[in-house]
């Protein structure tokens, strides 16, 4: 059950039922289960000690706030007194928010896939008191249905097996854990990430493009966020026009489909159909952050649709996900238990809001049909062509959005996740610099300040906060790497050195904690406390792999560090990390989008543009170069000697001048932005 929905906008919950300990959790998702009759505990040594004391297994349930089937199981099963009694009597029950503890989720998802051949959420695992998994699955209905065993049957069978054949269960669990440890070894060094390998990878990706409906592969279709960015970089830095064309085709069809909110902006998690018409309606912060970065780069190239989507996505983030201390994790797909209730329209509803004439016009423009494109005669809103009357279009959108605002709204998970907010900071800072929107850079800086002041504790990056209070789970590799990249991006676009020192400190701590000392270039994804093993997954998924994010942070640090020795150290580790990615790029390029982005930037130099400004410069040359520079190019601006890349480099007379460098080799300075940009590929 690879699904989603339901969060708590306020983070509030009713008090825990007797024996249920989730009422004070830092996770809104766990708080939603605080009034279950199940005696839920949070993950920790205390739960496993209780299982050993009682001599019973641990029942581990993993989900998240935007997970539709998690909430179906919660309402059907965990709210049922009879089933809760069976759970409480026979097991110690532990609830985990996978977004707060991706390390736990990673370990036991690997076990679930190994045992069943598939995974998803809700994830249901039965563990020995030592944490060894011996039976795993996903969603279970309360009683047998549609060929699926009922949870009552599962609980009974597990309980009897535990009582009657405990030694066999313990042996099986230990063997499964041993298998998981064996498969969690370091990725071997693969083929060299040279230009030809990257072009071959792009060729394989493009061979899987759906040239009719856009995107790659078949339904369900997920927004290929990292691939879009990679295809643009390969085009701009390595020369592959067909790559950028594919990115533009996919970006355009997504922006015009039902997966994109045509009234309020923002992308849903994925489309269930090949034509991007029917979304699974939840909206995740990480999707919109990664897509914002890609669409901003398309907008920088002059695409009008991408520019509109970029502006609307920023508006969505600020209007729908801003919590005051960062961006919330998600909006649910369900509203009052009905998927898409907030977002879909019937033909007569358009007439009721707009009047018959505008209603007919809007129905034709947004593909709202009498039969419906979704369920029950309702339609998602699409925009398959540009409107012929822009003023009328904006009037219609304004009125429809106001009417939609009167409907019940989806709940929101207010948990602030470090890595997802850091990705948003990077996207906002890059978009603001490229498109001349200083307010976006200011918001990026505001979020970064909060992450530094609240989420970095004694040098360690914490995973989450809620309502301005930092959570207890430690962040993983992705949190440190994404935050370091965000801070170094802000350092570039603002010229402010206050972002650089904490970024490099986070990089150093990241290396100390997560780098595998026995396999250079290999990384652990988590600290590994309280776990059977330290998980590591180098494959890019819905979000980039922690290791590919680490490579990006190290690449930036290698050219922005003020100390040359530190820069060389970061660069060497970046190269070793990229060397580990060769197998992924060669064998599974669609799962290597972020690796491709970092690799092509590294192969290009990375290209660095240092803009030496005179006193009183208006910054026009810097603005023009930021707008035109490909993704992955490091651009800094300031007066002579203000930054390492500007040491000994000044303007030409009183005119700002740009120095294009690749490694230690720099071109002669130039004052013409078009000439500078032409010299970059």
Q: Please enumerate in sequence order all residues whose Cβ is within 8 A of that of 192, keeping only pairs 6 or more positions apart, or say none.
A: 579, 582
Q: What is the pLDDT of residues 393-452, one digit of tens each?
A: 999 999 999 999 999 999 999 999 999 999 999 999 999 999 999 999 999 999 999 999
Q: What is the pLDDT of residues 592-642, one digit of tens each?
A: 999 999 999 999 999 999 999 998 899 999 999 999 999 999 999 999 999
Specify whether the backbone of 524 is left (phi greater than 0), alpha (psi in -120 to 50) or beta.
Answer: beta
Q: Which of 462, 491, 507, 544 is nearest to 293 (CA)?
A: 544
Neighbours of 35 (CB within 10 A): 17
Neighbours of 390 (CB within 10 A): 9
Q: Which of 456, 516, 449, 458 is nearest to 480 (CA)?
A: 456
How, if at all, do strands 657-662 and 665-666 pair?
Answer: antiparallel
CA-to-CA separations, 583 to 227, 534, 579, 591, in angstroms, rounded: 17, 21, 9, 11
The token duo for 265 is 């902006």
Which residue ranges make up each domain of the chain? Answer: 28-183, 208-412, 606-681
Distance CA 288, CA 292 (A): 6
Residue 132 pLDDT: 96
393 burial via Cβ count (<10 Å: 0-12, 13-18, 19+)? middle
Residue 316 pLDDT: 98
* Chain position carrying tokens 């603005």: 623
CATH domain 606-681 topology: Glutaredoxin (3.40.30)
Residue 189 pLDDT: 80
**Cβ-contact 273, 263 below 8 angstroms:** no
Q: Which pLDDT band holds residue 559 (cuts at 50, 70, 90)?
A: very high
- Can you state the angle between helices 225-233 and 593-603, rounded to 10 degrees? 20
Residue 81 pLDDT: 95
**Cβ-contact 22, 39 below 8 angstroms:** no
The token duo for 505 is 């400190």
Q: What is the pLDDT of residues 470-497, one digit of tens each?
A: 999 999 999 999 999 999 999 999 999 9
Q: What is the pLDDT of residues 176-221, one digit of tens each?
A: 999 999 888 877 888 888 989 999 999 999 999 999 899 999 899 9
Distance CA 54, CA 74 (A): 25
Q: Which of 71, 131, 62, 73 is nearest to 101 (CA)?
A: 62
- Report the percent of the chain where pLDDT is more than 90: 87
Domains 28-183 and 606-681 share a fold: yes
Residue 7 pLDDT: 31
Q: Which CATH class is domain 28-183?
A: alpha beta
Residue 18 pLDDT: 62
The predicted model gives 661-666 an average pLDDT of 86
Task: Give the number of residues written for the chain.
Answer: 681
């Amino acid at each position: 059950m690879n699904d989603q929905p339901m969060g708590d906008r306020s983070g509030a919950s009713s008090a825990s039922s007797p024996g249920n300990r989730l009422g004070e959790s830092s996770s809104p998702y766990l708080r939603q289960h605080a009034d279950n009759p199940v005696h839920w505990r949070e993950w920790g040594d205390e739960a496993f000690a209780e299982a050993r004391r009682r001599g019973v297994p641990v029942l581990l349930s993993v989900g998240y706030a935007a997970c539709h089937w998690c909430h179906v199981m919660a309402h059907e099963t965990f709210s049922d007194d009879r089933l809760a009694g069976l759970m409480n009597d026979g097991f110690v029950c532990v609830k985990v928010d996978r977004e707060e503890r991706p390390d736990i989720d990673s370990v036991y998802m690997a076990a679930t896939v190994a045992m069943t051949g598939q995974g998803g959420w809700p994830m249901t695992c039965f563990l020995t008191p030592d944490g060894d998994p011996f039976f795993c699955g996903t969603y279970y209905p309360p009683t047998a249905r549609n060929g699926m065993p009922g949870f009552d049957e599962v609980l009974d069978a597990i309980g009897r097996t535990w009582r009657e054949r405990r030694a066999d269960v313990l042996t099986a669990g230990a063997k499964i854990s041993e298998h998981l440890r064996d498969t969690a070894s370091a990725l071997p060094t693969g083929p060299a990430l040279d230009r030809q390998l990257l072009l071959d990878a792009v060729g394989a990706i493009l061979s899987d493009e759906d040239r009719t409906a856009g995107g790659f592969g078949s339904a369900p279709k997920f927004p290929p966020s990292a691939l879009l960015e990679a295809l643009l970089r390969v085009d701009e830095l390595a020369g592959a026009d067909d790559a950028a064309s594919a990115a533009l085709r996919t970006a355009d069809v997504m922006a015009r489909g039902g997966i994109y909110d045509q009234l309020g902006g923002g992308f849903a998690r994925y489309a269930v159909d090949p034509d991007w018409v029917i979304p699974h309606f939840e909206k995740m912060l990480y999707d919109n952050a990664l897509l914002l970065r890609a669409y901003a780069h398309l907008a920088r190239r002059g695409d009008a649709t991408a520019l509109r989507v970029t502006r609307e996505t920023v508006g969505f983030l600020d209007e729908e996900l801003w919590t005051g201390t960062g961006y919330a994790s998600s909006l649910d797909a369900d509203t009052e238990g009905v998927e898409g209730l907030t977002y879909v329209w019937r033909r007569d509803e358009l007439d009721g809001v707009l009047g018959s004439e505008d209603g007919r016009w809007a129905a034709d423009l947004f593909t709202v049909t009498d039969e419906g494109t979704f369920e029950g005669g309702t339609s998602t809103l699409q925009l398959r062509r540009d409107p012929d009357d822009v003023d009328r279009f904006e009037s219609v959108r304004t009125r429809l959005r106001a009417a939609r605002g009167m409907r019940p709204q989806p709940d929101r998970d207010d948990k602030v996740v470090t890595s997802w907010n850091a990705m948003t900071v990077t996207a906002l800072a890059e978009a603001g610099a490229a498109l001349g929107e200083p307010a976006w850079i200011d918001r990026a800086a505001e979020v970064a300040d909060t992450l530094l002041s609240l989420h970095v504790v004694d040098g360690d990056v914490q995973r989450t906060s809620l309502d301005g209070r930092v959570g207890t789970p430690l962040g993983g590799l992705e949190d440190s790497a994404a935050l370091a990249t965000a801070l170094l991006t802000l350092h570039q676009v603002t010229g402010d050195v206050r972002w650089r020192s904490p970024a490099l400190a986070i990089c150093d701590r990241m290396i100390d904690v997560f780098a595998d000392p026995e396999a250079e270039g290999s990384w652990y994804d988590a600290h590994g406390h309280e776990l059977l093993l330290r998980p590591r997954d180098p494959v890019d998924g819905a979000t980039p792999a922690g290791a590919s994010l680490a490579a990006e942070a190290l690449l930036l640090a290698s050219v922005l560090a003020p100390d040359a020795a530190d820069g060389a150290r970061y660069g060497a580790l970046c190269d070793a990390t990229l060397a580990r990615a060769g197998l992924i790029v060669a064998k599974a390029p669609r799962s290597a989008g972020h690796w491709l982005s970092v690799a092509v930037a590294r192969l290009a130099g990375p290209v660095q543009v240092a803009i030496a400004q005179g006193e009183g410069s208006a910054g026009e040359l810097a603005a023009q170069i930021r707008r035109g520079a490909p993704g992955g190019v490091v651009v800094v601006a300031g007066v002579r000697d203000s930054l390492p890349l500007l040491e000994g480099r000044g303007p030409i007379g009183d005119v700002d001048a740009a120095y294009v460098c690749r490694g230690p080799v720099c071109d002669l300075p130039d004052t013409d932005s078009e000439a500078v940009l032409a010299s970059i590929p």
